[in-house]
Amino acid sequence: MEKIFQKLSLASASLVLVILLGIFATLFYEAKPAIDEFGLHFIVDKHWNQEVPIEAGDNAAAPKEEEQSVDSMLFGDDDATPMKTVFGGLIPIVGTILSTLIALVFALPIAMGIAVFLAEMASKTVSKFVGIAIELLAAIPSIIFGMWGLYYFAPIIADAFGGYQVSLLTAGLVLGIMILPFMAAITRDSMNTTPDVLIESAYALGATKFEVVKDVIFPYSKVGIIGSIILALGRALGETMAVAFLIGGIYSLPEKITDPTISIPVAMALNFGEASGLGENALFYLGLILFVLSFAIISLAKFYFLKRSKI
Amino acid sequence: MRLYLNKLFLALSALSALIGLGFLTWILITLFIRGVDSLHFSLFLNDLINGGLRNLIVGQLILAGLASALGVPLGMIAGIYTREYGRGKYAEFIRDLSDIMMSAPSIVIGAFVYAFAVAPFGGTNGFAGIIALAIMMIPIIINTTDSMLSLVPKELREAGMALGASKYRVILDIVIKAAKVGIMTGILLAFARIAGETAPLLFTSGTSSYFTMNLSETFPSLTVSIYSLANEPQQSSRDLAWAASFILTMMVLVINLTGKFITRNKHK
């Protein structure tokens, strides 16, 4: 019995590894046709589901030629060049990165402020109350942020900055609100690891609160704070529902911050249902890129924390 | 100058806290006004096809409940491994992996489950939704179990061993009992978290307008329906989406607060 239980527990723990490897393998397998077809050029290609002329010497899409010539006959186009359907990931990749960066720029100062307020400023009762409220903000389902953002937040932002209601900017800002509690909570926790002795000595030397935070707490908990920022970044990359409401969901490169575009999770959410064949493979390719990206970023953050706990 | 700078800094910090609270209040008030406006008792009696929410609420609870039935035991036993049985690098490795998985993009998990539990069977089904939610839940449960077990004093384990109990008896009868409250809270919070998930369900369970208990067909989901209703042009659909959002958020927040309340009482 003891042995069985031990084996069972080992098996359950290994399940995590199996699932993770399974995700990698499945995404790779499903993306394989798209990877073979487009290679790494996928990352910098801005065409999504568009017909482009076949370049000389490229015979990968030869079967499509026939179909295309029927099309061109219909449209009466005499000197049609052979075309093929191309999927490229540049627009969703750029959309993901830009919306995440906007979220980070917006959330960072506010999250730091909240963390300082909770850790150093507020009385115990106030800190507890505000802390719970901030945690509740984190508990609200992302789809609610999306709906609220679309109908209440976006119009205000569009009035203030011009441009479209659904845009990179509104998506980024709502994303920022969503990672705010997460970032604030981890930052507060790492600030709280600063030994009281250090803080009290600084006060005893006549330092103001600002100086204590700036010269004692921040340097001490720097590593943890950077870790929290990177972790929040990793979270923001994969956020789907709120961004799906707000980013617009169209495949076009944004020229301004107030233009609508698309991100990787949103591309998957919107197009997965009707995609088939190469289109579906291309979506899995996007998913693979997203997964690898967030895996790398979160591991990086974990390493910061690990380094810290060993010191 | 120093003192002014200090005052400015403190004012900015307090302002940040106010901004955070402001967003929370803004969202909750919006939900309350729009939700209560469109909330009728009949919503709980009719299915979506007749303009109600009954099948969606029941469906979401079944999905999240069965996902917990799958994810909680697996996660707990895995957490027991990383804290009690595992030694050295492998347990540490699994712990790190599960932390990383906790932040994995949920839409990717949906796509993963789609590839092996939806595509081969020709359509969205309840089982796939349950698997996707369970995969989201397992790392959260591992994380709480692991950290709650680490709080149990070593002496308890040693006392159990000294009485001649085998290790798994000590774990199940003594260590788990001692960490019960913490683990229960963790489970509640994890349940609240997956009950509000949409992205992993989009192309696994899908959503349905009809009441069903058959998990092998497309299964009604409150969150997925909120998404589709909110994007429909008719005002009546959007009103229904607001009512559903209000119910969902209240459910999630009440579970969350209950969890927090339990831990608080425990610490007193």
Q: What is the pLDDT of residues B88-139, one digit of tens each?
A: 788 888 988 998 898 899 999 999 999 999 888 888 899 999 999 999 999 9
Amino acid A193: pLDDT: 86
Amino acid A101: pLDDT: 94
Among all residues of chain B, which has the CA nearest to that of A284? B111
Q: Does A282 touch chain B (CB under 8 A)?
A: no
Average pLDDT over residues A245-249: 90
| Band (A73; pLDDT cuts 50, 70, 90) | very low
Residues 6+ apart with CB under 8 A from A47: A86, A87, A88
Preferred mutation among A4, A16, A151 to probe B, highest tally of B CBs within 10 A: A16
Preferred mutation among B7, B8, B25, B27 to probe A, highest tally of A CBs within 10 A: B27
Nearest to B82 among A13, A142, A143 (CB): A13
Residue A93, number of CB atoms within 10 A of its CB: 22
- Calculate how close chain A gets to B193, using CA atoms only, in Å: 7
Angle, CA A63 vertex, CA A57 and CA A64 arms, to 5°: 90
Q: Does A292 touch chain B (CB under 8 A)?
A: no
| Band (B45; pLDDT cuts 50, 70, 90) | confident
* Chain-centroid distance, C-alpha A155: 24
Q: Is 60 exceeded by the pLDDT of residue A63?
A: no
Among all residues of chain A, which has the CA nearest to that of B166? A2
Helices (H), chain A: 2-38, 64-74, 90-116, 124-139, 142-148, 154-161, 168-192, 196-204, 209-212, 218-238, 241-246, 264-271, 278-310
| Band (A306; pLDDT cuts 50, 70, 90) | low
Give which of B206, B246, B228 is closest to A141, Cα–Cα: B246
CATH-assigned architecture of domain A90-310: Orthogonal Bundle (1.10)
Q: Is 70 exceeded by the pLDDT of residue A309?
A: no
Are A144 and B248 inside 8 Å of each other by CB?
A: yes
Are B107 and A269 inside 8 Å of each other by CB?
A: yes
| Band (A57; pLDDT cuts 50, 70, 90) | very low
Preferred mutation among A210, A214, A218 to probe B, highest tally of B CBs within 10 A: A210
> Which residue has tokens 């993963």?
B112
Are B168 and A5 inside 8 Å of each other by CB?
A: yes
**Would you tell me which residues 143-202 of chain A have a C-beta closer than 8 angstroms to some C-beta of chain B?**
143-148, 150, 152, 177, 180-181, 184
> Which residue has tokens 């709080």?
B151
- Condensed to tens digits (0 to 9), the pLDDT of residues B213-222 reads 888 889 999 9
Are B99 and A302 inside 8 Å of each other by CB?
A: yes
Give which of B139, B118, B72, B113 is closest to B199, Cα–Cα: B113
Among all residues of chain B, which has the CA nearest to that of A173? B23
Among all residues of chain B, which has the CA nearest to that of A146? B227
Among all residues of chain B, which has the CA nearest to that of A111? B16
Are B97 and A20 inside 8 Å of each other by CB?
A: yes
Amino acid A116: pLDDT: 92
How much is the pTM? 0.89
Q: How does strand A83-87 pair with strand A48-53?
A: antiparallel
User: Distances in Å between the alpha carbon of B99 and those of A81, A131, B176, B194?
Assistant: 52, 23, 21, 16
Are A133 and B192 inside 8 Å of each other by CB?
A: no
Amino acid A56: pLDDT: 46
Residue A229, number of CB atoms within 10 A of its CB: 21
Nearest to B16 among A114, A150, A210 (CB): A114
CB-defined contacts A:B, below 8 A: 253
Preferred mutation among B5, B8, B18, B24 to probe A, highest tally of A CBs within 10 A: B24
Nearest to A240 among B80, B106, B135 (CB): B106
| Band (A287; pLDDT cuts 50, 70, 90) | very high
* Chain-centroid distance, C-alpha A235: 6
Write the DSSP symbol of residue A120.
I
Structure tokens at A6: 């031990």
3-state DSSP assignment of residue A87: strand
| Band (A301; pLDDT cuts 50, 70, 90) | confident
Give which of A294, A244, A260, A249 is closest to A142, Cα–Cα: A244
CA A144 – CA A140 distance, rounded (Å):
7
Give which of A109, A87, A104, A80 is closest to A36, Cα–Cα: A87
Kindly list the structural domains of chain B, giving each domain's residue range(s) and its CATH number in brackets, ordered by start: 48-267 (1.10.3720.10)
- Within chain A, all domains assigned CATH 1.10.3720.10 are found at 90-310
Are A26 and B112 inside 8 Å of each other by CB?
A: yes
Are A268 and B107 inside 8 Å of each other by CB?
A: yes
Amino acid A305: pLDDT: 67
Crossing angle for the helix pair B54-80 and B180-195, to the nearest 10 degrees: 140
Q: CA dihedral in degrees (B261, A180, A94, A33; nearest 10)?
A: -10
Contact A169, A157 (CB under 8 A): yes
Q: Give the range among A58-62, A145-149, A278-282, B66-70 with minimum mean pLDDT.
A: A58-62
- Which one-letter amino acid corresponds to residue B21? L
